[in-house]
Each structure stands twice: as C-alpha cells, then as structure tokens.
Amino acid sequence: MRLLYVFVFLLIATSCEKQDLCDLSQYPSAPYGNPDDTIYGENALRLDNGELNPFARGLMISEATIGLLKKDGKYALSAQGKVSVVGISGLSLSGPISINYNGFTEVINQVVTVVETGKKVAVDFVASQVATAQKSFYEIKGFGAPIAIDVAGQRVRANFSVRRFASVAGGEDDSLRFSLTNLFADVKSGDSRVLSVTSPLGDLLSMPSGIALKASGTITANTKGLFSAGGVELNINTTSREIDHSVFDALDQSSRTIQLPEGPYVRFETNDNFLINAGGQKIRGAFVFENDSEGEVRGSVEGGEITITDSGRDIIVLKGINGNFEISSEGAYGALRVGKPTFAIPGVTVNGGTVTVQMNTVDETGPYLRVDLEEASLLLNGLISNGVEAELIGDFAFEPSDEEMHVVMGEIITSVFVNESAGILENGKGVMVVAGNGVAGALEGELAFSVPSLNAGESLVLRFNNSGTAVKKEIKLGTDYINISFDQSDGRIFSASLIEDPLDVDRDGWQDETEIIFGSTPSDPESVPAFKMIVQKFENGQFQVLFPGEKDVSYTIQISSNLKDWIVLGDPIIGNGNIVRECFKISGNTSFLRITKN
C-alpha cells in the first residue's frame, strides 16, 4: 500500500531517531531538497540535482511548520503551511493548509516547542483520528477563511479537504478529490458581477484526464431588472468523457454521486422549476448560464412557461419557451421562441401568427417582458365592419404592466367603412388596452385604394371598443402619452374617419391628436381636452412641456423654485387647437412649472 508521498518525503528528509518529537522546520536542507517545500500527489517535487521535477503533479506545501512523533516504526505528524498547485492544468489555488497523519492506534496529545523560535506545534489526535488495522488516519484541508480556487477559468472560494482516489475502478490512486464547503462563485460579464452562487458543499476532482467540479446551491441575480429564485448546480468538466464517481463524506457519513456529461464546459444549471423575474413578469423553466468566448454571460432556457394575468384572469399562457439571452451589468436582453401559446384575451379571438417573447431590462424603454405576435389576425368579438366581424390583421406586441395590459399594434390591415364607402385601411399603427370584458383602442393608417370621393393614401383614424363600457386610459408609449377615451355610449364602436388638415373630425376647433392625448372624444364636438400639463424628461437634461392650446388663446410657461416667486420662460404662446410643445433645460435641484392663460 502506497504511503502518502508528502509524509514519506518528510521522514526521509529528516532524522528524528534520537528524539520522539521534533519540529522539521529546524532543518533548512535535506538530501532531496527543502523540507519546507513538499508535494502531495504524483512524483517527487524536485530531482536529485535540486531542480523542479517536470513530472511532479499535485499540491505543493511550502513554508511548513511540522511536528512529528516517531515510535516503534510508527509516525504521527501535524503540519501547517501554504498550498499551491503544481503540474495540474486548469487548476490553481493558494492559501493556508493543514496536514495531519496518525499511524498510531491510540489518542495523541503532545506539544512540540521549537527551541530557536519558541514556537509550539501541537500533535493532537482524538479517538476518531487514530489508525485502524486496515489504514492510518490522515487529513489534509484548508483552514481559516475560504480560499480562492480557479477551475477552468471560473473562480470559486471555498474551504476544502483533500483525499486521493483512483480515477479508474480497481486502479491505483492517481487523482485528488477536494471536498468543498462554504462555496461562493461569481458569474461575471467583463469585470462586473451579474450572478452570484452560494453552495454548502461540492466536490472537485483532479484527474490525469482533466478537472471536474459539481456543487449545488442557490443563485442570485445582480443586474438591472432581473431577479431569480431556485436551486442551481455549478458543473465543470474539462475532460472529453462522462464523469460517474461516487464519494463518501466523512463529515455527515453520507454518500453521493458525481455525474457529469462529457466536456469541456463550465455551466451553471438549474432544475426545470427555476424562476426568473424579468421586467415584472415571471418565466419558469430550466436555465443554463455560462460565459461565452468573449467573456460575456449568456443565459438559455428550455421548456419555459409564462402566465400573464389581467384582473385576476389568465389571458396569455405560453409554454415550451426556448432560446438564449445576454446578461450584463446593464441588464438582460434577448428573444425567446414559444412552442405552445394560448390567448384568452376578453373580447378577442386570436388566429395564426408567430409568437416570441422579447426580454429587455437594459435600455430606457425597459424593463419589460413583451409577447410579440406577428402576422396574426385578431377578431373583435361583437363588432361589425362592412357586414362581417371586425378583424385586425398585422403585428401585435402585448406589454403587461402592474395597471393593465396594453397592446401596441403595427402594420395593421382592416376593412373599414368611411365617407359612406367600404375601404381598406393599411399600414395602421396604434395601441389598445384590455378593458373589462373586451378591448378598446385607436390606430392611424392609410386608405389602401381609392373609393368614391377619397383617394388612395388618404390618412384615416380608426377607433374601436367592444368592452361595452366607458374607457378612459392614458398609455405611456416611449416618450409619448396616448389617451384612449370612450364614453358609455361608445361601449361598442368600430368607426373610421378621414384625417383632414387640420385633424379635426368633429370640427370643434381641437385637433384629434390633442383630444386623444388630453382625454376628450374626437368625434364629439361637446367633448374638449382637459387643460393639464405633461412634462417629459430627456437624457440630455432637457424637459418638454405639453399642453392643449385653445385656438387664439395666449399662454405663458412659468418656473419657480419655491412656489412663491415665478419667472416667465420665453415669449407668450398663442394656441391653435393643437398640442403646444416647448423644450427647456432646467438647472437646480428643485423646480416647479405652471401654465397660465393670459
């Protein structure tokens, strides 16, 4: 039976025959090198001429303080030093290490005092640390704070203990197993931590064919708009073969199996019930996180599921979600495929189309998790256009929020009745909201071909509502605010109108865009915009003020820092029935704005 090399080396390098206890650090040199510079692993650290052995492979222990007991051909040893790795590709570590070996069958409690330094070295073994008839006791472990271990480019911090084992069943011991505890690992994009993993225990195998590591724990997201919950495994395999190795944990007397598919890879893998919250929406599925060749972090999901609710109802259920997304310190972004979508939007029947999930917690338009439905048909139940059920054909982006679901529409085609003629609206774009038992919205487009009294390309506005109720919603879309406003009498309406110049369908002196944004009905001359102010802030520090400017009425914009003293900004503004837009750059910590009619 092969004895641990580190101990064999130390005993050969030192003479303790005239005393039972000795401190090996008293001996500055030895026939095979410095006893403070030893190796635990394969082959001697140094050749006979003192040079490093190119075939040495294992852990090098340096600056060791060692206490040794020798009696009747048996030995007990306690040592502490600094550990580093020699000859193992893909693995490096450094930190304090302790070595304990007991070849005696009885308890030992001795103290060695180094004469020159006065330093004391304890050689202390309790009842559970004695030799048996079959084998001696030994223990090699790091101590103190968890130390840094770099494995195939992934850094972890952990406490550890080391054992030798045979990488081939029935063969000689040729490998090292590190039992890891209190493990912590960062997943970094460049120099920024985006994910953190903690694990109570794990195993690292250093074999002639490569390195393998398996640790189970929890993962936390450290990036904008992304949150996570659930278990994760850190799996590393630098070999080209599958790993199937059973280990016995002496601490809790338990056995576990390390099983990994063939490598090479470094991956953080979750189970299929892992949860990610992106932009306020939850994706549940099996996720994998890993660094790509550029050092960026890529995530992927398989078998994901998303359920989107509105007013306590499941209105969109997506299953079989698969795809990749990128993660950086700025957030996460990507497009995911959907295998099985189900839409149960009140008042709407969805047919056809391609569904994807768009994730973006990065730029100023986020954070959001959006469901895109392209080249689809939405039947508006209960609404009729030109004798058939009203239908919108085009692209739809469902954007859930805490308040309501709103849907951005683009490239819309629909049949309309305008100016007593049937026609086709194309290139439509707008927004709708889920409201009660239906939807309500508005869009603008172009007349596809000429009809009596109207030419192709004329601009049209389409308003629709099948909720059966009044709807008053203000939707923020990018930097714009869009008002969707219907009275109770317009609870079921599908109405297209010609947009003239100016855009004033009801001829009440207010342009339709102004009425929509500021809460009045464009087709009702008795309905007028609310006199209020909208303030938008831009990245360059500028502010834009929007308000409805009544025709031939004079207004001033004023600013104050204390609500007492007001300063007029710019010249008086004369309204023309449209939206007044004025931009200012405001300095100072606190400012108040107001609009006055002159």
Number of C-beta neighbours around residue 322 at 10 A: 15
What confidence score (pLDDT) does residue 305 get? Answer: 94
Task: With a cut of 50, say whether residue 257 has pLDDT above it.
Answer: yes
* Cα separation values, 295 from 35, 91, 223, Å: 41, 19, 16
Nearest residue to 264 via CA among 244, 236, 227: 236
% of the chain with per-residue pLDDT over 90: 30
Quick one: pLDDT at residue 26? 36
Quickly state the pLDDT bin for 266 (edges 50, 70, 90): very high
pLDDT, position 342:
95
In the prediction, which pLDDT does 484 show?
Answer: 85
Contact 457, 489 (CB under 8 A): no
pLDDT at 366 over 70: no
Q: What pLDDT is attached to residue 372?
A: 95
- Which of residues 8 and 594 earns the better pLDDT score? 594
Tell me the pLDDT tens digit for each residue of 68-123: 788 888 888 888 888 888 878 888 888 888 888 888 999 988 887 766 667 778 88
Higher confidence at residue 585 or residue 460? 460
What domains, with CATH codes, occur in the chain?
1-144 (no CATH), 146-310+317-329 (no CATH), 369-499 (no CATH), 534-597 (2.60.40)
How many CB atoms neighbour CB 496 within 10 A? 22
Q: Is 153 exposed, middle or buried (0-12, 13-18, 19+ CB in 10 A)?
A: exposed
Q: Is the confidence at residue 267, as pLDDT, over 60?
A: yes
Q: With beta carbons less than 8 A apart as the criterion, state whether 206 and 239 touch.
A: no
d(CA 96, CA 329): 33
8-state DSSP, 401: -
More confident residue, 319 or 525: 319
**What pLDDT score was predicted for residue 403?**
66
Per-residue confidence at 373, pLDDT binned at 50, 70, 90? Answer: very high
Beta bridge partners of 483: 474
SS (H, E, C) 165-207: ECCCCCCCCCEEEEEEEEEEEEEEECCEEEEEEEEEEEEEEEE
Mean model confidence pLDDT for the chain: 82
Q: Which two tokens stand for residue 560?
A: 């104050």
What stretches of 419-491 adopt beta strand conformation (E)? 421-435, 438-447, 459-465, 471-477, 480-486
Q: Which pLDDT score is estimated for 45? A: 61
Q: What is the pLDDT of residue 539?
A: 61
Residue 36: pLDDT above 70? Answer: no
What does the pLDDT average to over 412-436? Answer: 91
For residue 421, what pLDDT is reported? 85
Query: Is residue 357 pLDDT above 70, yes or no?
Result: yes
pLDDT digits (tens, 9 = 90+) for 484-506: 888 888 899 999 988 754 467 67
Average pLDDT for 458-481: 83
- Which of the given ranges, 2-16, 75-89, 217-231, 417-431, has the highest pLDDT on average? 417-431
Neighbours of 405 (CB within 10 A): 21
Report the pLDDT value the prediction gives residue 318, as an integer from 0 to 100. 96
